[in-house]
Amino acid sequence: MNGPMNSRKKKTRKSSSGFSLVELLFAIVVIAVAVLGGMMMVSIGILRNNSNKIDTSGTNVAQTVLETVASAGPNINTTLVVTDCLQTDPATSTLNINTAPGGANLLPNGDIDFTQSPTALAGNYQMNYTVCGTNGLQLVFDVRWNITSVGGFGKMVTASAQHQFVANGKGVALLKPITLRTIVGM
């Protein structure tokens, strides 16, 4: 009697022991997909963090132009000097902001036209503003503005900043220029 029972137990043990090769390969594929998906999420997060830093710096640069024009007053047309992290001395800075009406071309939606050549913007309505960060990091922005007279009593100022890496076609195309508007006077 012991003979047939032992052979049954052996057969049962053989068929239920361990993983098959197919099950093991399937488990490896599932784990690999999960790990690669996690790595992709981390890399996308790092890229978005960098683009947010560029957007924030661009907003600050455009705000600098708006505040400089607003500081001149609504009926004063002069050229003011600003400094960035490279040109720190106002006496020698070449970053000039013209506060008279005129400037960069506007698109139909009111944004600055960055297809216009910077050399076509005569009269200090464009500058390359550098923002310095840690570890020698420098962000250079192409900053342009347009000033329009509003009823003889004020000015509408449109200022826009675009990271030069994006402007040269080398950066992430989703980083649109930062455009700010304000009215001075009235």
pLDDT digits (tens, 9 = 90+) for 128-164: 999 888 778 888 899 999 999 888 788 899 999 988 7
pLDDT digits (tens, 9 = 90+) for 166-178: 545 555 555 788 8
Tokens describing residue 182: 């304000």
Instruction: Print the SS3 string covering 55-96.
Output: HHHHHHHHHHHHHHHHHHCCCCCCEEECCCCCCCCCCCCCCE
Low-confidence ranges of the chain (pLDDT < 50): 167
Phi, psi of 38, rounded to the nearest 5 degrees: -65, -40
Of 69, 88, 100, 101, whose CA–CA distance to 129 is shortest?
88
pLDDT recorded at residue 166: 56
pLDDT recorded at residue 146: 93
Q: Is 151 exposed, middle or buried (0-12, 13-18, 19+ CB in 10 A)?
A: exposed
In the chain, the percentage of residues whose pLDDT exceeds 70 is 85
pLDDT recorded at residue 10: 53
Phi, psi of 167, rounded to the nearest 5 degrees: -60, -30
**What is residue 24's three-state secondary structure?**
helix
pLDDT recorded at residue 52: 79
pLDDT recorded at residue 106: 92
pLDDT recorded at residue 31: 96
